[in-house]
Chains A and B, each alone.
Chain A
Amino acid sequence: MGFLDIRNVTKSYGAVEVLHRVDIAVDEGEFLVLVGPSGCGKSTLLNMIAGLESISGGEIAIKDRVVNGVHPSKRNIAMVFQSYALYPNMTVGQNITFGLEMHGTPRPERDRALAEVAKLLQIDHLLDRKPGQLSGGQRQRVAMGRALVRDPDVFLFDEPLSNLDAKLRVDMRTEIKKLHHKLKRTIVYVTHDQIEAMTLSTRIAVMNKGYVQQLGTPKEIYDSPANLFVATFMGSPAMNIIPAKLVVENGRALAEITDAGGKPLRLGFGAGNYSAWEGREILLGIRPEAITDPEGADRNSHNVQPLHNMVTVTEPAGADTFVTMVLSGKDVIARMRADAAVHPHQPFDFAVNMEKAVAFDPKTGDRIQA
């Protein structure tokens, strides 16, 4: 049993079920990120944990207490909203302590808690200002202060960084991570940004269409995506998905694809038993960074294979150069060192790290377990 238990939880509006049997156990001190495209049900799930939306089926328990039907203010949770939701008519100090006031905490204690939080977040000098006089980053801090001051069991974050500009977003991301290291509190964090999910979380739940597609550590999600959705949603640029045919030669499984000229070529999988798929169509998944120039290939990999193909376009992006080619009729992106000598419309010798390659069932989209 976890610290925060989501057991078989469903949500329906009338006859329409929008969240299907979600089952997640969160341990104390964990940083769980719910990630997925808009409309996947991640915010609905967060609101159900908060008590802002009712639970249609299953139960949610915090510290072994079932909280279905318990008023939000009685769940000992705190929430940071996307728009920060600061009360415009109150000062920063009043904003932060409003919750304590509502819970009948005496004034001296409120002031002490406020001072502590303000110091932690470095907003001491802002306490008498109104939210309208603050910058985006300052508002963000105040919103977090309001959550911290309550000393709740669980922190809920609803896309807290999406209203900030790109640079501030990265800074605040680091800030939140530092805070989590320092305070070791249990956090459930909703975002549509897969980079935020990867960097912040101890575990990720990737959601789509009301289902949890995969629950796991960032590394598990990235390296062993459970299905095509997770594979393509997590990572940027997205994982290359190449139609292939599985052939077995001398007991070794190979993916047969075609190059830009339509000539067949084969890439061998590493370990794993693919015999059930012999002669069948599969989808080969290779992340861009697994396709490099030979010098840039991963030295620790036991299965780097050469691939000779025509280059379509190169896009230098500072630290990396993205190279596009065509495999099996699809655009495939490779991610290379900036100084790789690669030129458009010329053939190039690529190196493919097949240790990182995965295969999917084209019918169900699930990864083929080998």
Chain B
Amino acid sequence: MASASEADFRTRLQDWLPKLVLAPSVAVTLFFVYGFILFTVVLSFTSSKMLPSWDFIGFSNYVRLFSLPHWHVALKNIAIFATLYIVICTAIGLMLAIFLDQKIRGEGVLRPIYLYPMALSFIVTGTAWKWFLDPGIGLENVMQQWGWESFSFTWIKSNTMAIYTIVIAAVWQSSGFVMAMFLAGLRGIDNEILKAAQIDGASNWQLYRRIVIPLLRPAFLSAFVILAHLAIKSYDLVIALTGGGPGRATEMPATFMYSYTFTRKEMGVGASSAVIMLMTIAAIMIPYLYSELKEKKE
């Protein structure tokens, strides 16, 4: 019994087999996600144009990026879009969830109606809203046909207002999902807490403002994180709805990156814009994921 303390084959196999099976996934993630991120970061410090080059030029791309009017438009648009998108989706989602939670008859019919847009692709959503908001055939035309001759709705053709049509379509697509998140949160609240508050004399308004909404904090946080990262990544919807136009009026960081990299062949600048996008999302997601994973450990 020389090797009394040494594990037998089966025990050792059981020790490394799981790691071996997991290894390809880890390798793929490290290469295709983190390796590629690194590649793009490095690229953003080079003078790459149509093809990658390894001529390092420091922060020049970033300097140039922030001097480009298009990038400023994109930043302004994403600020408007993300703010309105998050605020309106949260407001509508919360309102619908609270209303649906009032022993509503027909909840089983309404809920799927609110939620189905989430199953559609942004391209489909964009196509539907593009023509619905088109002044020639859509809403404006309909209103005028119905006798409201002076009705005018030309946001989608307007340099200053087109960004808001993207907000409308995006809110249409995602607010039902936020509703579902809040509804799940509401249904998870112990009814006895509400009864206790009512016995304490709280009105419905006070009940929601002082007890229920504070208890929904986790749902608010999740909704914010999900909506924020969707907003920053939003690309498809802009392409389908406005194509970034009129002109470049609805340029967003995601469309900016794509057109600078693949159409204008300024890969270095495109890479630097992607890095900025990643850093913004990381600033939101990493603390969130960290706290979620840490919580679970206990």
Interface residues of A (CB under 8 A from B): 51, 54-55, 59, 66, 68-71, 73-74
Assess whether B1 is interfacial by the CB under 8 Å rule.
yes
How far, in angstroms, from A54 to B5 measured CA to CA in the complex?
Answer: 10
| Beta-carbon contact of A66 and B1 below 8 Å | yes
Q: How far is the CB of A39 from chain B (nearest CB, A)?
A: 15
Q: Which residues of A contact B1 (CB under 8 A)?
A: 66
Question: Do A70 and B5 touch (CB < 8 A)?
Answer: no
Residues of B within 8 A of A (CB): 1, 4-8, 10-11, 14
How far, in whole Å, are A70 and B5 apart by their CA atoms in the complex? 9
Q: How far is the CB of A122 from chain B (nearest CB, A)?
A: 35
Known: A59-B5, A69-B5, A71-B11. 16 other contacts (CB 8 A): A51-B11, A54-B7, A55-B5, A59-B4, A66-B1, A66-B4, A68-B5, A68-B7, A69-B7, A69-B8, A69-B11, A70-B7, A71-B8, A71-B10, A74-B8, A74-B10
Q: Which residues of A contact B4 (CB under 8 A)?
A: 59, 66, 68-69
CA distance A71 to B12 in the complex (A): 9
Nearest neighbor of A73 in chain B, beta-carbon distance: B10
Chain B residue at smallest Cβ distance from A54: B7
Residue of B nearest to A51 (CB): B11
Q: Which 5 A-B pairs have the closest CB atoms?
A: A69-B7, A71-B10, A66-B4, A71-B11, A68-B5
Contact B14 A69 (CB under 8 A): no
Closest Cβ neighbor of B13 among chain A residues: A71
- Closest A residue to B3 by CB, please name it: A69
B78 CB, nearest partner CB in chain A, Å = 46
User: Taking the nearest CB of chain A, how far is it from the CB of B11, in angstroms?
Assistant: 5
**CA–CA, A51 and B7, complex, Å:** 10
CA distance A132 to B14 in the complex (A): 30
Q: Which residues of B contact A66 (CB under 8 A)?
A: 1, 4-5
A188 to B77, CA, bound (A): 69
CA distance A51 to B11 in the complex (A): 9
Nearest-neighbor residue (CB-CB) of B1 within chain A = A66
Contacts of A71 in B (CB 8 A): 8, 10-11, 14
Roughly how many angstroms separate A87 CA and B163 CA in the complex, as a whole number? 56
Contacts of B10 in A (CB 8 A): 71, 73-74
Q: Chain A's nearest CB lies how many Å from the CB of B26? A: 23
Q: What's the least CB distance linking A273 to chain B, in Å?
A: 46
For A54, the chain B residues whose CB sits under 8 A away are 7
**How far does the alpha carbon of A74 sit from the alpha carbon of B5 in the complex, in Å?**
15
Q: How far is the CA of A73 from the CA of B14 in the complex (A)?
A: 12
B11 surroundings in chain A (CB, below 8 A): 51, 69-71
CA of A70 to CA of B6 in the docked complex: distance in angstroms? 8
Rounded to whole angstroms, the CA-CA distance of A207 and B113 in the bound complex is: 60
Contacting residues, chain B, for A70 (C-beta < 8 A) = 7-8, 11
Nearest CB in chain B: distance from A48 CB, A: 13
Measured in the bound complex, the distance between the Cα atoms of B10 and A70 in whole Å is: 8
- Cα-based distance from A147 to B4 in the complex (angstroms): 26
* CA distance in complex: A258, B110 (Å): 75
What is the distance, in angstroms, from A50's C-beta to the closest C-beta of chain B?
12
Using Cβ atoms and an 8 Å threshold, which residues of chain A touch B14? 71
For residue A67, give the distance in angstroms from its CB to the closest CB of chain B: 9
State in angstroms the CA–CA spacing of A68 and B7 once bound together: 7
Q: Chain A residues near B8 (CB, 8 Å)?
A: 69-71, 74
Nearest CB in chain A to that of B10: its residue: A71
A and B contact pairs by CB, cutoff 8 A, 15 listed:
A51-B11, A59-B5, A66-B4, A66-B5, A68-B7, A69-B6, A69-B7, A69-B8, A69-B11, A70-B7, A70-B8, A70-B11, A71-B10, A71-B14, A74-B10
- Please, how many angstroms separate the alpha-carbon atoms of A73 and B8 in the complex? 12
Nearest A residue to B15 via CB reads: A54
**CB of A62 to closest CB in B, whole Å:** 13
CB proximity of A205 to chain B, nearest CB, Å = 23
Find the B residue at minimum CB distance from A68. B5
Closest to B14 in A: A71
| Smallest CB separation, A155 vs chain B (Å) | 22
Q: Which residue of A lies closest to B4 (CB)?
A: A66
CB of B191, distance to nearest CB on chain A (Å): 26
Q: In the docked arrangement, what's the CA distance between A59 and B14, Å? A: 21
Chain B residue with Cβ nearest A59: B4
